């Protein structure tokens, strides 16, 4: 039981913070401290995947496989929104992602055989995969089991996977996948794009694979020394438009927001309006997504004496109203940068896949099905700003937040003094921001013994 809970902890992150998860955490009292490090160390194997699905189906009830599909695709399971697939999707215009979603919805509602109330076709194959993991059955034995069940119960097994290979493909269709990208252990190279086929780092010459006593050339097992987990952004954004309710909320900032001059939402900010004026082609389509970016280092271990820093990268869809986009169910985990040390100034190495997707979404976009309007449109996205602490700001922007010119606002006009005995920089010049008639300008005693004559940075 403990091992299953640990597997569930390490893999729930891949279910994108579904609305069911808070209930599970409260009832099972899961230890979230192992969540990130388990994924970084092992990734999500088939064993992890099937254990997660089975435990979730047990926790949610055998008859809630439909809700499981909703969670996987990031679509809220609201009564009246997906009960009838025909009312939401025209099969002639819906894209492949939407068709796959509604196909799985049908499978989750279709009984295993006529009159069966306990299992749907989807829940039954998930339970079989779970038994395979618990019994440590190899693929050949699992295929033989499927053949036996098909011979004994031909009606019940109609339409179900005929082999382990097909069943494993079903796991990927459920969204329990992500891209595993090898990285240099010193954070100098990401084996992605033009570097995908390289076997060593061009900067530090460290091998890409782990070396063992029996495999000095690391050519047999090919186990990467460090692995980046990337959760593709485009499918997540497309899924926001697959639910009739979610799709309409994605236009809330333009159609339903109160515009009375008070700031209740990022859309009320000057930055938002300035962006719209600079990019009118993007702004005229209210369904285009505005994103926020946040990242910081965390220690995923209970023992705080262990020095470890894993960096998750989270995206926020600001199209949603404020009572939705700040909920955990709306957070989008995009990258999981492994430890044990922080990437520091080399964080841009790990951001390459996300930046490539963001550039493509900005310049070209992706075809997306809008369930509220029953039509396809070209979805584009933009990144408005980043959210981080001051050291994280240095990593993300490239501007050094320490030393002589640490202030990103004052820039080269930063007034800094290096302490003679302490050896550190002290930042003065604060009086420049007061009105010129303020008494602090000529007060020597309370400051650094000088009179202020400078101008505030523009």
pLDDT digits (tens, 9 = 90+) for 209-251: 888 766 656 566 788 889 999 989 998 898 888 777 788 899 9
Whole-angstrom Cα distance, residue 361 to residue 382? 7
Structural domain includes residue 434: yes
245-248 contacts: CB < 8 A, separation 24 or more? 245/76, 245/78, 245/81, 246/75, 246/76, 247/370, 247/371, 247/372, 247/373, 248/372
Highest mean pLDDT: which range of 71-75, 77-81, 385-389, 405-409: 385-389
* In a shared domain, residues 154 and 62: yes
β-strand 416-418 against 425-427: which pairing, if any? antiparallel
Q: Give the pair of three-digit tokens for residue 16.
A: 């994108």
Q: Give strand pairing partners of 378.
A: 367
* In a shared domain, residues 153 and 284: no
Res 23 pLDDT > 90 = no
* In a shared domain, residues 163 and 289: no
Residues 6+ positions from 458 with CB-CB distance below 8 Å: none
Q: Which of 2 and 433 is assigned the larger pLDDT?
A: 433
Last residue of a domain, one of 355, 374, 397: 397
Per-residue pLDDT of 262-275, as tens digits, reads 898 999 999 999 99
* In a shared domain, residues 439 and 355: no
Structural domain includes residue 101: yes
Structural domain includes residue 248: yes
Q: Which of 432 and 39 is assigned the larger pLDDT?
A: 432
Whole-angstrom Cα distance, residue 345 to residue 351? 12
Domain that holds residue 453: 402-458
Closest to 414 in 3D by CA, of 429, 400, 433, 402 = 429
- What is the average per-residue pLDDT within 24-52? 39
Structural domain includes residue 178: no
Structural domain includes residue 183: no
* In a shared domain, residues 373 and 410: no
In the numeric block, the tokens 């986009």 are attached to 325
* In a shared domain, residues 140 and 254: no
What was the pLDDT predicted at 356?
94
* In a shared domain, residues 255 and 109: no
Q: Give strand pairing partners of 295.
A: 313
Please give the tally of structural domains in the chain: 3
- What is the average per-residue pLDDT within 138-153? 90
Length reported for the chain = 458
β-strand 416-418 against 226-230: which pairing, if any? unpaired
């Amino acid at each position: 039981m403990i091992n299953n809970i640990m597997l569930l902890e390490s893999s729930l992150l891949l279910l994108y913070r579904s609305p069911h998860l808070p209930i599970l955490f409260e009832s099972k009292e899961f230890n979230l401290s192992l969540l990130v490090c388990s994924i970084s160390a092992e990734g999500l194997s088939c064993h992890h995947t099937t254990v997660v699905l089975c435990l979730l189906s047990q926790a949610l009830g055998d008859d809630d496989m439909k809700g499981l599909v909703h969670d996987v695709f990031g679509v809220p399971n609201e009564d009246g929104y997906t009960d009838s697939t025909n009312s939401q999707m025209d099969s002639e215009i819906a894209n492949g992602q939407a068709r796959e979603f509604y196909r799985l919805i049908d499978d989750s509602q279709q009984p295993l055989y006529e009159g069966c109330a306990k299992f749907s076709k989807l829940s039954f194959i998930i339970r079989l995969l779970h038994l395979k993991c618990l019994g440590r059955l190899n693929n050949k034995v699992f295929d033989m089991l499927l053949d036996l069940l098909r011979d004994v119960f031909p009606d019940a097994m109609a339409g179900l996977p005929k082999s382990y290979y097909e069943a494993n493909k079903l796991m990927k269709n459920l969204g329990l996948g992500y891209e595993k990208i090898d990285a240099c252990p010193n954070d100098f190279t990401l084996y992605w794009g033009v570097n995908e086929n390289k076997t060593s780092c061009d900067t530090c010459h460290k091998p890409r694979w782990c070396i063992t006593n029996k495999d000095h050339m690391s050519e047999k097992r090919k186990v990467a020394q460090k692995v980046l987990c990337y959760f593709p952004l485009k499918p997540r954004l497309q899924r926001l438009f697959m639910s009739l309710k979610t799709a309409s909320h994605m236009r809330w900032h333009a159609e339903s927001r109160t515009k009375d001059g008070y700031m209740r939402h990022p859309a009320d900010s000057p930055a938002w309006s300035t962006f719209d004026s600079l990019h009118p082609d993007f702004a005229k389509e209210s369904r285009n997504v505005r994103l926020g970016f946040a990242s910081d280092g965390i220690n995923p271990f209970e023992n705080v004496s262990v020095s470890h820093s894993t960096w998750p990268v989270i995206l926020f869809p600001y199209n949603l109203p404020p009572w939705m986009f700040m909920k955990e169910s709306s957070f989008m985990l995009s990258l999981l940068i492994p430890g044990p040390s922080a990437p520091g100034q080399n964080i841009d190495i790990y951001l390459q896949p996300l930046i490539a997707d963001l550039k493509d979404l900005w310049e070209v976009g992706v075809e997306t099905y809008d369930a509220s309007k029953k039509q396809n449109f070209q979805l584009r996205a933009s990144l408005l700003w980043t959210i981080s602490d001051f050291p994280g700001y240095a990593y993300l922007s490239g501007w050094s937040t320490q030393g002589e010119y640490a202030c990103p606002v004052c820039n080269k006009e930063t007034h800094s003094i290096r302490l003679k005995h302490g050896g550190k920089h002290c930042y003065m010049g604060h009086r420049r921001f007061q009105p010129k008639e303020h008494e602090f300008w000529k007060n020597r005693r309370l400051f650094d013994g000088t009179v202020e004559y400078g101008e505030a940075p523009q």
